[in-house]
Amino acid sequence: MMKLYIGNKNYSSWSMRPWVLLTQADIAFEEVMVRFDSFAPDSTFKATLRDLSPTGKVPLLVDGDLVVWDTLAIAEYLAEQFPEKSLWPKDKAARAQARSICAEMHSGFTALRSHCPMNIEARLPEQGALIWRDQAAVRSDVARLVAMWQQCLRMSGGPMLFGDFSVADATFAPICTRLVSHALPLPDDIQAYVQRVGALPGVKAWIDGALAEHDFLEFEEPYRLSRQLA
């Protein structure tokens, strides 16, 4: 059985993507959680992954003797291994668009990712309001997301970005959690999409796992002193 190495579910946005993809598509795998103690070279996290991954990062998919790292590479490998799951849209044009927006997510939206880190357990509307007021780049990132998602939903008819669930929805699921945690303003149609993503069984299972961790990592939360004071 394939193994997927992930970090803390509450914080690890990159781990969430392939985990949700596998779970939502009902593909069997073994989860191996490697706790974020720190990312220093001598950390337990790095020591655990050192002999498995050339990058020392999660997520990491191990299938027999094959090791696949990077979320997009994992998604492509799974799509090839399980063509019957239709992880990418069947239509060629839609598939090209889906790959394009996933690649844009992979390399972009840096302001939103930096100022609004994933923290599923947290509710940070006050911080979100200040970020929205002060960070023009975050407003720009959200505007691009809104335009992108509206175009996809309009062309596909929903309920997911390309009609049925696909790699694209798994790719943007962590962004949806960021938008919720920080209560960033969204138009009604996009808010509805975010809610539909959150209700997917695979996404809900990840969120439930994140809420069950009760593992406050100070270096991941410079804006809070503890969970109890949230």
Residue 73: give its domain's CATH number.
3.40.30.10
Phi, psi of 188 (to 5 degrees): -60, -40
For 54-76, the pLDDT digits (tens) are 888 999 999 999 999 999 999 99
Judged against a pLDDT cut of 50, whether residue 41 lies above it is answered with yes
Based on the structure, what is the number of domains in the chain? 2
Average pLDDT over residues 180-209: 98
9's tokens: 């579910």
For 105-142, the pLDDT digits (tens) are 999 999 999 999 999 999 999 999 999 999 999 999 99
37, 44 in Cβ contact below 8 A? yes
Mean pLDDT of the chain: 94
- Tell me the C-alpha distance between 48 and 39, whole Å: 11
Residue 202: give its domain's CATH number.
1.20.1050.10
194, 176 in Cβ contact below 8 A? yes
> What domain range includes position 75?
3-85
Pairing relationship of beta strands 3-6 and 60-63 according to DSSP bridges: antiparallel
The model carries a pTM of 0.93
Residue 52 included in any domain? yes
Which of 40, 65, 85 corresponds to the end of one domain?
Answer: 85
Give me the count of residues in the chain.
Answer: 230
Judged against a pLDDT cut of 90, whether residue 88 lies above it is answered with yes
Whether residues 45 and 127 share a domain: the answer is no
> Please, what is the Cα angle at 175 between 173 and 180, to 5 degrees?
100
Name which of 177, 175, 164, 182 is nearest 204 in CA terms: 177
* Local structure of residue 219 (DSSP, 8 states): G
Whether residues 109 and 205 share a domain: the answer is yes
Residue 229 included in any domain? no
pLDDT band per the 50, 70, 90 thresholds, residue 222: low
Whether residues 97 and 206 share a domain: the answer is yes
R_g of the chain computed on alpha carbons? 17
User: How many CB atoms lie under 10 A from the CB of residue 36?
Assistant: 19
